[in-house]
Chains A and B, each alone.
Chain A
Amino acid sequence: MKVMGYKKSSLLQLLVLVIRRDLVLAMRRRADVLTTLVFFVIVVSLFPLGVGPELGMLRKMAPGVLWVAALLASMLSLGRLFSADYQDGTLEQMMLAPQSLSMLVLGKMIAHWMVSGLPLVLMAPVLGLQFDMSAQPLGVLIIGLLLGTPILSMIGAIGAALTLGLRGGGVLLSLLVLPLCIPVLIFGTGAVEAISSGLSVASHLSLLGALLVLSLVFTPLVVAQALRISME
C-alpha cells in the first residue's frame, strides 16, 4: 500500500490497486460471490422444469435462458458495488482523493465483473450442456458472454451510483438498468442463433465488441458524475 502514500502514482498503478483491493474484500466475503453464482444456476435450472424436458426445445431456448439468467444475476450483485464503501465512508475518501475518480470507478467495475460476471461465464458451459447445446454454439455463447457481461457490470454501475443510499434501491436499480441492457441481450443471443442456422457470427460479436469499447470509454465518466450527484 506504499504506492498510495504521498507519491503520485500513475493511473495504471491506481487501477491495479483498486482492483486488488476490491478483490481482496470480495474474497473475505466469499458467500456473496457464491450467492450470485448459485442464483444463476437455480434460475437456469428452473426453466426446463417450467417448460418441459423436451431436448429440441431446450436446445433452442438455451442461449436466451442463459443470457436472461446472467442479466438477472448481475442485477443481484450490483447493489454491493458501491454500498459497502458508501456506508463506511471509504467512497467519500475516494472522491476526495487527488486521483481521477473515473479511473477509480473503472477499477471497481472491473473488479465487480471479475467477481460476479466471470464466474457466470465459467459456469455457462456446464449449464449449456444441460440444455444439450453442441460445441460450436456453446463456444459462441461463451465468447458472447465474455464480451457482454462486462457491459452489464458497467451499465449497471450507472444505476448503482444513481440509486446509492436510496430506499428500495434494489428493485429500482433493476428497473433503471434492465431496459438499457437489452441490446447486449439481443446481440449475445443473436450470435448463437446465427451460428446454429449456419450464418456468420462476426456481425453480432463485432457489435458486442463495439458496445464493450463504447461503455469502457464512457461509463466511467458517467458513473463518476452520478456518484458526485449522489454524494453531494
Chain B
Amino acid sequence: MAINWFKYSSPTTFYGLAGKMIPWFAVSAAILFAIGLYIGFVVAPVDAQQGEFYRIIFIHVPASMMSMFLYMVMAAYAALGLVFNTRLSGMMASALAPTGALFTLISLWTGALWGKPMWGAWWMWDARMTSELILLFLYLGFIALHASIDDSRRADRAAALLAIVGSVNVPIIYFSVKWWNTLHQGATIKFTGTSMQIAMQQAMFTMLLACWLYSIAVVLARVRSIILSRERNTAWINELPEVKQ
C-alpha cells in the first residue's frame, strides 16, 4: 500500500485533523502542568544552597529549552516550505513564532526573577542570558518581516529564508557570546549522571512535557486560524459547519 506522505500537507485536510488533535493535547498539557507544579512546589525538597528560590527553575528551564527547540522546529518547517513549496509549512512556521517568542520572554523574565536573590542583580551579561536575548530578537525579526509583507506567499518565503539564516547563525552567536563572557553556572542535567534530586527531576521533566503539549495545542489552534483567514475565499471554508451558521 502506498502511503500518501503529502496527504496532511494540504490545509484542507490538516484543518480537520488539527481540530481533532487540539483537545487531546490541551487537556493532557493542563493535567501535566498540574502534576508538575504539584511535584515542584510540594513534593520537591528545599535546595540546600538556594533555598526556596530555586523552584523557579521548574518553569525557567523548560521555557528556555522550548524557546530554542521551537526556533529549530520553525526553521525546519521554513526549510520544508522552501524545498517542497507546501503552503502549510509556511503557515506552521508563522504559527510557531509567537509561541517561541513567548517562551523566550518567559525564560528571560524568570531568569531575572531568579537572578535578583541569587546574584543580587536582575540582569547579568552572561553568555546564556545574552544569547537568549538575541534569540528573542531573531524571533521578533521573523515576526516583523512576516507582518510587513502583504502577499502571504512572499511573506512565508522571505521569512523562511530569514529563519534558515538565523538558525545557521544561532550556534555562531551562542559560542561567540560564550567566549565573550562566561559566568552562568554549568549545566546541571548532563548525559552521564546528574546532581539533581529525583523529585526535582520528575518535576522538571513533567513541566517540560507539559510545555511541549501546550505548544503543540496552541500552535495547532493558531494554524487553524491562519488557514481560515488565508483560505477564506475558497469553497471548502464556506462549507464548514462553524462558518456556515
Alpha-carbon separation in the docked complex, A75 to B81 (Å): 29
Query: B134 contacts the other chain (Cβ, under 8 Å)?
Result: yes
Q: Which residues of A contact B145 (CB under 8 A)?
A: 162-163, 172, 176
Q: Which residues of B contact A230 (CB under 8 A)?
A: 154, 158
The answer to whether B134 touches A179 (Cβ under 8 A) is yes
The answer to whether B165 touches A180 (Cβ under 8 A) is yes
The answer to whether B134 touches A182 (Cβ under 8 A) is yes
Query: B137 contacts the other chain (Cβ, under 8 Å)?
Result: yes
Inter-chain residue pair count (beta carbon < 8 A): 64
The answer to whether B154 touches A232 (Cβ under 8 A) is yes
- In the complex formed, the residue of B with least CB distance to A219 is B165
Query: A113 contacts the other chain (Cβ, under 8 Å)?
Result: no
Query: A28 contacts the other chain (Cβ, under 8 Å)?
Result: no
Contact with A along B131-149 (1 / 0, CB 8 A): 0001001101100110011
Query: A211 contacts the other chain (Cβ, under 8 Å)?
Result: yes
Query: B56 contacts the other chain (Cβ, under 8 Å)?
Result: no
Query: A167 contacts the other chain (Cβ, under 8 Å)?
Result: yes
Measured CB to CB, the closest approach of chain A to B135, in angstroms, equals: 9
Query: B9 contacts the other chain (Cβ, under 8 Å)?
Result: no
Within 8 A of B (CB), among A146-185: 158, 162-163, 166-168, 172, 175-176, 178-180, 182-183
The answer to whether A172 touches B144 (Cβ under 8 A) is yes
Q: Which of B110-118, B171-179, B185-193, B205-213 contacts A (4 or more CB under 8 A)?
A: B171-179
Query: A190 contacts the other chain (Cβ, under 8 Å)?
Result: yes
Measured CB to CB, the closest approach of chain A to B176, in angstroms, equals: 4
A229 with B176: in contact, given A162-B145, A172-B148, A178-B137 (CB under 8 Å)? no
Q: Which residues of B contact A162 (CB under 8 A)?
A: 145, 158, 161-162
Q: Which residues of B contact A163 (CB under 8 A)?
A: 145, 148
Measured CB to CB, the closest approach of chain A to B105, in angstroms, equals: 15
The answer to whether B166 touches A182 (Cβ under 8 A) is no
The answer to whether B148 touches A183 (Cβ under 8 A) is no
Alpha-carbon separation in the docked complex, A84 to B137 (Å): 29
Query: A186 contacts the other chain (Cβ, under 8 Å)?
Result: yes
The answer to whether A183 touches B172 (Cβ under 8 A) is yes
- In the complex formed, the residue of B with least CB distance to A225 is B161
A186 with B165: in contact, given A179-B138, A211-B172, A230-B158 (CB under 8 Å)? no
Query: B87 contacts the other chain (Cβ, under 8 Å)?
Result: no
A183 with B173: in contact, given A190-B180, A229-B157, A230-B154 (CB under 8 Å)? yes
Alpha-carbon separation in the docked complex, A226 to B157 (Å): 9
The answer to whether A176 touches B162 (Cβ under 8 A) is yes
Alpha-carbon separation in the docked complex, A186 to B166 (Å): 17
Query: A222 contacts the other chain (Cβ, under 8 Å)?
Result: yes
Within 8 A of B (CB), among A204-219: 207, 211
**Which residue of A158, A166, A183, A187 contacts B149 across the interface (Cβ within 8 Å)?**
A166
Query: B169 contacts the other chain (Cβ, under 8 Å)?
Result: yes
Q: Which residues of B contact A225 (CB under 8 A)?
A: 161
The answer to whether B148 touches A167 (Cβ under 8 A) is yes
Q: Which 10 A-B pairs have the closest CB atoms?
A: A183-B176, A179-B137, A176-B141, A229-B157, A186-B176, A162-B158, A186-B180, A183-B172, A175-B141, A179-B134
Task: Known pairs A158-B165, A172-B145, A179-B134; list 19 more (Cβ under 8 Å).
Answer: A163-B145, A166-B148, A166-B149, A168-B148, A172-B144, A175-B141, A175-B144, A176-B162, A179-B166, A180-B166, A182-B173, A183-B169, A183-B173, A186-B176, A186-B177, A186-B180, A190-B179, A229-B154, A232-B154
